[in-house]
């Protein structure tokens, strides 16, 4: 399921948190939270009760090649 979402361009990265292994992060690309929510509701870890709770949060990316809203310091006026 995750690899298929990645091949469609929806899932950018995903994996378990380490030290301790107590969660996971999945980074989706899309115009709304709907793609991530649909994925989570159909995820076998969720539907089989292994994952008991999950949530989707929007992330405003400002740095890096794939940033949705790039901001560079030279574009920010100095304070005062």
Q: What is the pLDDT of residues 11-42, one digit of tens each?
A: 999 999 999 999 999 999 988 999 999 999 99
List Cα–Cα distances, 31 to 8, 26, 37, 67, in angstroms: 14, 16, 12, 13
The tokens describing 17, both together, are: 């948190």
- Please name the helix (run of DSSP H) or strand (run of DSSP E) that holds residue 47, with its range, or none: helix 44-47
Short-list 69, 2, 68, CA closest to 29: 68
Q: What is this structure's pTM?
A: 0.79
Contact 28, 61 (CB under 8 A): no
Q: How confident is the model at residue 8 (pLDDT cuts 50, 70, 90)?
A: very high
Higher pLDDT residue, 30 or 76? 30
The tokens describing 15, both together, are: 């994996």
Kindly list the domain boundaries of the chain, sorted by start residue. Answer: 2-75
């Amino acid at each position: 399921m995750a690899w298929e979402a990645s091949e469609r361009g929806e899932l950018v990265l995903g994996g378990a948190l380490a030290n301790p292994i107590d969660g996971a992060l999945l980074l989706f690309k899309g115009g709304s939270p709907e793609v991530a929510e649909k994925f989570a509701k159909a995820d076998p870890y969720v539907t089989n009760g292994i994952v008991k709770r999950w949530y989707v949060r929007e992330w405003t990316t400002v740095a890096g090649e794939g940033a949705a809203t790039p901001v560079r310091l030279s574009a920010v006026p100095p304070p005062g």
